[in-house]
Amino acid sequence: MAALMPLMRVLEQGTKYIQWVKHGCEMDGLHPGPPRPTLKTLNSDDKRQLEQVVRLLKVTISHIEAE
């Protein structure tokens, strides 16, 4: 459960939950389309932040599974 905390902290920042989830889908090869017109896409810093957190989470999960 603790392994998910960095991801949860990212997802709970401000009002970008939908954008975070959509970019997460894109990172996994799914194409959810752009957010509705009143929302803007994530900037490159936000995308990089989510990518780093998800990369660390995947490493943590693989270590847990290897145990």
- pLDDT tens for 42-58 read 999 999 999 999 999 99
What is the pLDDT confidence band of residue 16, given thresholds at 50, 70 and 90? confident
Query: Whole-model pTM?
Result: 0.66
Cβ neighbours, 10 Å, residue 56 = 13
CA atoms within 13 A on the CB side of 30: 7
Amino acid type, 62? S
